[in-house]
Structure 1
């Protein structure tokens, strides 16, 4: 194992409070449920209308397929990295080890931590804002301020729920995941059994060009799809708390992607076979309108309640994963020491959890569209492309014999890098500018800190 072993996570599932590290309590089903809950969440229930507006006609399905293929290639990257370095805070350690802990890896690790402080609240906040939008279906009089307050309140409630031993959260995560998958299956089944070929023909015969043009529209839909599929890496954030991580992490990542992809394609086709595509494109609660068209007001209300459960679970597990990143950096001596504090009995990060929960509540006062676009472009530029090259660097070193190796190497890496660059090139200019400014600011902050502490690249001669 690499030098990341400094965090010294125990191999057993028993509490390890005496050593100051959290226990390995998450098995395959816990890891899979953490991924699935993160992936399903509120994403497709609020972004299907956005995708239909970005690329009219059946071409929109190409965007969903392209997004799934890109995520599968990127999932192979995460699976290999998570198996090679199974530590809590995942990408922070991947980048530090790949680019040199005392060299450029210090910069990459710092930039990942820096972008996490920005994107973690955006990711958690987007799930909470989506939750509040569907609450608005039940309470039509709820204004923008009311929805923002509900979203912020959800983040604070989840922080309180996660303030306990991770094994208890695993059981809750598995339970909620089972309900969420069953709810999605019910929604898809309802669409299949009420599929109207005349309505679907109107969608597939649509020739109206997108206002963005085909390639820009395809990029916009693919970016939305990647956001919706995102979350297959959540188990990697909890690597130090996973049992048998070299096998469990790759399995959880690679099983979750096709499982959710099938659900999403079924959901899209089901909706487009019941609702006219123009109505779906302008809906504020498309799944609620869809179920109401089939089962009446009662069916629409029940669908909303299930979606609220899914979005709550998504915000919960995303907060769980991201709360471990500042802790991992602090435990490694690269962040404020207070963030390395663990609960004396539960063995979970306390200050890190409270900080991420509070900043996520503040992010809920931004719009959902701005949250999604800025989140994805920032993560691509800061992290995803760098991780592809990290696989190459780590493969040159001696690895444990049971480490997962991606098939068809290096083809998945090439597809991932090209795909990420395409999504950035077709994104909104404001999102690109925000991400570039964040990278520049983070680099300047790192250089200032390195010069002050006389560390790389300002080592004394």
Structure 2
């Protein structure tokens, strides 16, 4: 008997595949292009702090996802959680705002992966022009859509294969770094590296935390695919926590290893290859150019895998919303043969390609590194509607639906929720100071305000709250109660 409301999706993805999907999305091109950004944020090899605090934030936030995902295992992730938690006071406003936001920030995250991929391709193709890079990026997005145009069980096998390539690429870089490792380079910090009484340190810390959590993003990918996960009460929390712990170990080895081979000052020099393709620089200095070329190809495959899994999970977000009548109805249609959300995949692919091209041409003239600005804007937008709202949803659901089955309950509740909220608020509060002239807080508030206006127009047309009655469904709790009702005598 199904343990969730019927979605039309098939539960085909097990624990190993789910963990591989999360890890592939987490460890894509991110650490290979953000190591120089992290060094710049902290001003030296003490940048390792950023990876540690980023992992801690990901872990406590992952516990939020684990409880919500195991108790509400539906396609759409955050959309489902906000719908169930906040329907009592604000009707469909919160899930609408999340889908509104996700249709932008998920493709933007994928666009950073495509941009990083083109950046590393420049190591193999140094004469590549901006126009040629644009064509390559758009072609990558088109190929991802083509590969996702199939049944989910086939996607699961393909994801595991790309996960293996990701593990191989990272492993080779780590081995190369530690075979030529210089402890003095990695562990000699500049004088006054940590000054807790100086505001500049905390601005750098917040920037590093932002970069760190960006690199860990993806631990929640399977939560967006809750309707396709086998035994979600067991698989969902394990796939999240195992992926975070595994990637944390990989990132620390990678960061420390790179700092032991490449001088951190080289990563800050825009004319040095280490500032653009730091992993390739490590391989070239240790094993030679040929090996660097080969591993760069593996890194490109890893970057492709992260875009692949990101669009795989992200395309499911508007699906459940459309099925519930909280988003455009056309997003709720499945492919007649392969059973996947068609419009969600295509629309997010198009936004990814457009964002990639715009970032390359607009960001190229910015005072700040384009990738750093994108990361800040993405995380800032996510804080309000996803991170903080989801943390609140855990408590709201415990109070509103105390009888809801929770196969996994957050350990030490509510401490992880509090720590996660503090971490996200630090990222948000320091965003403007860390990026003067960019105004990420103002942009995030403007986007949310625009979403509220769009919701008011939509709700007026659909005649739902505040222009109609609230619809309290408690969908998962109702399904659970129906399954536990005794069968009447004589019924078959």
Which consecutive residues of structure 2, in runs of 5 or more, have no partner in the other structure?
270-274, 360-369, 471-492
Distance in 2 (alpha carbons) for counterparts of 1:401 and 1:343: 32
| Cα separation, partners in 2 of 1:416 and 1:208, compared to 1, 3 Å | closer
Which consecutive residues of structure 1, in runs of 5 or more, have no partner in the other structure?
10-20
Offset, 1:198 = 3.8
Offset, 1:399 = 3.9
Partners of 1:87 and 1:239 within 8 A in 2: yes
Distance in 1 (alpha carbons) for counterparts of 2:68 and 2:245: 20
Match of 1:425 among 423, 429, 434: 429
Question: Which residue of the partner structure matches residue 186 of structure 1?
Answer: 172
Question: Which residue of the partner structure matches residue 177 of structure 1?
Answer: 163
Question: Which residue of the partner structure matches residue 479 of structure 2?
Answer: none
Partners of 2:186 and 2:257 within 8 A in 1: no
| Cα separation, partners in 2 of 1:346 and 1:460, compared to 1, 3 Å | closer
| Cα separation, partners in 2 of 1:460 and 1:91, compared to 1, 3 Å | closer
| Cα separation, partners in 2 of 1:277 and 1:326, compared to 1, 3 Å | same
Partners of 1:103 and 1:456 within 8 A in 2: no
Which is worse superposed, 407-416 or 428-437?
A: 428-437
Match of 1:154 among 140, 161, 166: 140
Establish whether residue 136 from structure 1 lines up as the match of residue 122 from structure 2. Answer: yes
Establish whether residue 263 from structure 1 lines up as the match of residue 263 from structure 2. Answer: no
Offset, 1:175 = 1.3
Match of 1:452 among 444, 461, 470: 461
Offset, 1:96 = 0.5
| Cα separation, partners in 2 of 1:200 and 1:336, compared to 1, 3 Å | closer
Distance in 1 (alpha carbons) for counterparts of 2:36 and 2:292: 17
Distance in 2 (alpha carbons) for counterparts of 1:344 and 1:438: 35
Distance in 1 (alpha carbons) for counterparts of 2:58 and 2:193: 29
Aligned counterparts, 1:428-439, within 5 A: 428=435, 429-439=438-448
Establish whether residue 237 from structure 1 lines up as the match of residue 229 from structure 2. Answer: no
Question: Which residue of the partner structure matches residue 204 of structure 1?
Answer: 189
Match of 1:278 among 253, 259, 265: 265
Question: Which residue of the partner structure matches residue 367 of structure 2?
Answer: none
Establish whether residue 398 from structure 1 lines up as the match of residue 402 from structure 2. Answer: yes
Distance in 2 (alpha carbons) for counterparts of 1:271 and 1:138: 20
CA deviation profile, 1:74-96 (whole Å, cap 9, x unmatched): 00000000001000111101000
Question: Which residue of the partner structure matches residue 329 of structure 1?
Answer: 321
Establish whether residue 416 from structure 1 lines up as the match of residue 420 from structure 2. Answer: yes
Aligned length: 446
Partners of 1:84 and 1:399 within 8 A in 2: no
Match of 1:288 among 273, 280, 286: 280
Distance in 1 (alpha carbons) for counterparts of 2:385 and 2:13: 28
> Under a length normalisation based on structure 1, what TM-score does the superposition of the two structures give?
0.92
Which is worse superposed, 356-365 or 307-316?
A: 356-365
Give secondary structure in 2 for the equivalent of 1:276: coil
Pairwise CA RMSD: 2.1
Partners of 1:57 and 1:206 within 8 A in 2: no
| Cα separation, partners in 2 of 1:344 and 1:93, compared to 1, 3 Å | same
Aligned counterparts, 1:376-391, within 5 A: 376-391=379-394
Distance in 2 (alpha carbons) for counterparts of 1:315 and 1:206: 40
Question: Which residue of the partner structure matches residue 40 of structure 1?
Answer: 27
Offset, 1:400 = 4.8
Distance in 1 (alpha carbons) for counterparts of 2:302 and 2:91: 37
> Under a length normalisation based on structure 2, what TM-score does the superposition of the two structures give?
0.87
CA deviation profile, 1:376-399 (whole Å, cap 9, x unmatched): 110112210000010001112134
